[in-house]
Amino acid sequence: MICSSQLSQPMNGLKEIVETRNFKAWLLDQYGVLHDGKKPYPGAISTLKNLATAGAKIVVISNSSRRASTTMEKLKGLGFDPSFFTGAITSGELTHQSLQRRDDPWFAALGRSCIHMTWNDRGAISLEGLDLNVVENVEEADFVLAHGTEALGLPSGSVSPMPLDELEKVLEKSAARGLPMIVANPDYVTVEANVFHIMPGTLASKYEELGGEVKWMGKPHKMIYESAMAIAGVVNPSEAIAVGDSLHHDIKGANVSGIESIFITGGIHGNELCLTSFDETASLDSVKTLTAKHKAFPSYVLSSFKW
């Protein structure tokens, strides 16, 4: 575990690390690093190409509640060449595999009936192949599955749009019954085209406040980093480096996993660092203050994903 860090001065680009360090696996967050949900960040595609050309095994490691294949399709649609990636792992993929295999005692003990919190405008999440029975009444449920924050899944497979405060009422009833909850996306918020969206991690945090048990899938937990390293074919954490814009999820997760990390300041923490334009360099003092606040310690600091 990495519990502290001597931050380097903000760097000019990834080339400095590639030329001085021999990291085999590069674990890249997507939102806030490669793209903003709608378009790639300036220079991100060429930087990815340079990194792949240098021989890096690049794995996308994301708290998306969607399957890994969907993430790769999205990246391709945004203009990223799929051949540059060794693979991808998402919190949604981990959730799907865990519910499907049930080889973990915690998952094996779950029933088959669930309350499903999902997306509406952003596109509902399919539960195909999981042998689950989606129910509307908390009294009939064995657990709560949170993929999104916009709707409640229906037994028919369709969804019923529901505001956040109504979903929280469902959580109150679920917590009172002692139902366990699986959160397929631990992020609290995400930034898409400069607009903040509430994510399932916010519901999970609320559920814990209510006394409910939550199974957090994805960053900052070690399991997803181990999966990403396995995809890249490395075993030793010293051979990997993670790149992300969230101190709580990306950098803290790397710390927990004993992996070095690069903090991209222009993402989700941009406002806290008083940044007003893309690729603006944050002051080292402001970065140190913010990392201390979050108890997350990056090895390097970079304004954006650039070469």
Residue 18 backbone dihedrals phi, psi, to 5 degrees = -60, -35
Q: What is the pLDDT of residues 291-307, one digit of tens each?
A: 999 999 999 999 999 99
Angle (CA) 70-194-40 rounded to 5° is: 50
What's residue 1's pLDDT?
63
Q: What is the pLDDT of residues 21-57, one digit of tens each?
A: 999 999 999 999 999 989 999 999 999 999 999 999 9
Amino acid at 112: R
For 199, counting Cβ atoms within 10 Å of its Cβ (0-12 exposed, 13-18 middle, 19+ buried), the class is buried
- The label of the residue with tokens 């222009």 reads 266
- The label of the residue with tokens 């999205």 reads 74
What is the token pair recorded at 103?
A: 């080889």
**Whole-angstrom Cα distance, residue 226 to residue 236?**
10
What is the token pair recorded at 220?
A: 């900052």
Low pLDDT (below 70) residues in the chain = 1-10, 191-195
**Whole-angstrom Cα distance, residue 301 to residue 286?**
12
- The label of the residue with tokens 């903040």 reads 196
CB distance 283 to 239 below 8 Å: no
Residue 86 backbone dihedrals phi, psi, to 5 degrees = -75, -30
Strand partners for 89: 61
What is the token pair recorded at 241?
A: 């480096």
What's residue 253's pLDDT?
97
Specify the 3-state DSSP secondary structure of 240: strand
